[in-house]
Amino acid sequence: MNLTLKIWKQSGPKEKGKFVTYTLKEISPNCSFLEMLDILNEQLINKGEEPVAFDHDCREGICGTCSLYINGRPHGPDDAVTTCQLHMRKFKDGDTIIIEPWRAKPFPVVKDLIVDRSAFDKIIQEGGYISVNTGGAAEANSILVSKPNAELSMDAAACIGCGACVAACKNASAMLFVSAKVAHLGLLPQGRIEAKERVKKMVAMMDAVGFGNCTNTYACEAECPKLISRSNIARMNREFMCAKVS
């Protein structure tokens, strides 16, 4: 495959960025998207040019760091995958591919395609945990959890915090991310003790770091690589209202 890449280049958070065009030849359709970028960077280094900075870690779709905006979609033109799971067979020979970082005020660009997502960490630090003094370890089966709640909690816990929901939302809302974190703890008995304080603190921090309001267009759910359900947002809103009036 022969490809034209238009990649966002920005040397620092306070610098102006621009699109730079690169060409690649003879790329295998079985190559992953990040492998394709590796090939590009190898060629640039061999020519004495600066490589493209992009984030990655596990390359197994479980860490969320490989977040790229590709041809107008978070993680690219495939469903329920992260960028590292995207393969070049999703594109055609001769295609022009536009690659950008997440575009959201709370995610400032560090360099090129890398953004600072520590805003998510701040939200987690506000309440994404449980602090229960259990004493001696209880027998695992002594706390009963209903099967529906256990499944809903596990589904919400699948969120990897990649930020695709924020990138997909025209208001840069983090409601899907925050609601997933609220749900996966709040649905279990161990998390109910701090549920009211947790939801109030996490929502307050979400607003404080600059994320927008939910648009109700459900673009977040459509682009989420882990298919986190928008029903978590409704659940979090109920939790929040109940916590505020109690």
Q: Kindly state the tokens that stand for 141.
A: 């089966």
pLDDT class for 131, splitting at 50, 70, 90? confident
Q: Which residues pair with 20 in a beta bridge?
A: 7
Inter-residue contact 48 to 140 (CB < 8 Å): no
What pLDDT does residue 43 have? Answer: 97
pLDDT class for 134, splitting at 50, 70, 90? low
What pLDDT does residue 136 have? Answer: 73
Q: How many domains does the chain have?
A: 2
Instruction: Examine the pLDDT at 233 and tell me if it is beyond 90.
Output: yes
Range of the domain at 228: 118-245
Among residues 46, 78, 111, which one ends one of the domains?
A: 111
In a shared domain, residues 153 and 229: yes
The rounded distance, in Å, linking the Cα atoms of 194 and 128 is 10
Percent share of the chain, pLDDT over 70 = 97
DSSP 90-159: GS-TT-EEEEE----TTS-EEETTEE--HHHHHHHHHHSS------SPPPGGGS---HHHHHHHHHHHT-
In a shared domain, residues 125 and 237: yes
Provide the CATH number for the domain around residue 145: 1.10.1060.10
Instruction: Examine the pLDDT at 63 and tell me if it is beyond 90.
Output: yes
Instruction: Examine the pLDDT at 139 and tell me if it is beyond 80.
Output: no
Instruction: Examine the pLDDT at 68 and tell me if it is beyond 70.
Output: yes
What is the mean pLDDT of the segment spanning 44-60?
97
Question: Is 78 exposed, middle or buried, given 0-12, 13-18 or 19+ CB atoms closer than 10 A?
Answer: middle
In a shared domain, residues 138 and 238: yes
What is the mean pLDDT of the segment spanning 222-228?
97
Place of tokens 């997440």: 102
Closest CA to 37 of 50, 51, 48: 51
The rounded distance, in Å, linking the Cα atoms of 18 and 95 is 20
